[in-house]
Amino acid sequence: MYCITPVSTVNDSAIWHKINNKTKPIGALGKLEPLAAQLAAVLGHQHIKLMPQAMIFAADHGLARAGVSIAPSEVTQQMVHNFVAGGAAINVFCRQMQIDLEVIDCGMLSPLDDSLGVINQRLGAGTEAINVTEAMSLTTLEQGFEFANQRVEYHRQQGINLLLLGEMGIGNTSSASALMTALLDIDSDLCVGAGTGIDEQTLIRKRQLVADAVVLHQDKRGDTKAILAALGGFEIVQMTATMLAAAQANMLVIIDGFIASAAALAAVKLNPHVKDYLIFAHTSHEQGHQLMLANLAAKPLLDLGLRLGEGSGAVLAYPLIEAAANFYNQMASFEDAGVNSVV
């Protein structure tokens, strides 16, 4: 399906020699050092050049009709209008970091006017309710993968080498929790959290609905695509495929929070080599995220108590990624600076 080449280790010795001989004690820059090594291994060990693009994947979920969120599904489209108008947190952060942002309609309840500039990759008018039937057919999932492949190829041709992924979709923490439960084969109560801030009664209902959905589709365990079609969202499917296509194209991907990490979990299940191309931005406030990150052996850059989505955490982590590239490219070596080596 995807031909992802494991990141070559042939330059590892040269990369770490360069990092360890900067004018600092070995390891003194903490997480920035393995991050710089990852950037150099994928993007070039002589000089790291970052060309970022932020992407928000928006879609609606049939399960939202059961009342699993603080807001109705109509808010998905309202927030997309806010993204287009430049008024959301992700817009503010992208402007600050000077990163271009695009919004992709993967399948909201109703389409938007083409004049708004939202990219149309619709797979339908929201998924089916996952506690009743499959969220989508396998044919629809494959169409979502194809849309993602095409979009990644477009960005590759523009010279982009770093994608920052986020999402918008009322009810999508329920879908992500169900996917996590099925993919890791664990108790759903460990995976279901309060999302953007539901009350205790709603949380109880959400836990039951997610548990029901996982039981309904338990025959699909062991087949990641079938699980993704049964329990996923249109935006989760397209984020999963975007990660796979980006890795195939030798591009790095910054993963936002809980929902994006669920897509990453599915991507790694489909092709473990994709993990080498992923950078995990932050630990979400959402219950289950730390467990998911631990399963992925991921070490996020930030822990800010975020639970917003939109790719906000991915963009907030970007300055650290830029700093890792800059110290690798610009920091003097002991020899260059005429400083005695520090052990």
Report pLDDT for 197: 81
Per-residue pLDDT tens for 137-176? 999 999 999 999 999 999 999 999 999 999 999 999 999 9
Token output for 342: 């520090």
Distance CA 55, CA 168 (A): 11
Label residue 177 by pLDDT band (50, 70, 90): very high
Residue 310 is among the residues annotated as catalytic for this protein: yes
Which stretches does DSSP call E strand in 52-122?
52-59, 101-107, 119-120
Report pLDDT for 175: 97
Report pLDDT for 287: 85
Where is pLDDT greater, at 13 or 343? 13
Whether the Cβ atoms of residue 279 and residue 185 lie closer than 8 Å to each other: no
Report pLDDT for 285: 84
Per-residue pLDDT tens for 230-270? 999 999 999 999 999 999 999 999 999 999 999 999 999 99
Nearest to 246 by CA among 203, 210, 283, 275: 275
Average pLDDT over residues 213-238: 97
Q: Which domains does the chain have, with CATH numbers?
A: 12-47+328-337 (1.10.1610.10), 52-327 (3.40.50.10210)
**Catalytic member of 33, 134, 167, 310:** 310
What average pLDDT does the chain have?
96
Give the pTM: 0.97
Q: Check pLDDT > 60 for residue 343.
A: no
Contacts 24+ apart (CB under 8 A), 79-83: 79/168, 79/310, 80/105, 80/108, 80/112, 80/118, 80/168, 81/112, 81/116, 83/56, 83/168, 83/310
Report pLDDT for 286: 86
Label residue 189 by pLDDT band (50, 70, 90): very high
Average pLDDT over residues 215-230: 97
DSSP characters over 235-293: HHHHHHHHHHHHHHTT-EEEE-SHHHHHHHHHHHHH-GGGGGGEEE-B--SSTTHHHHH
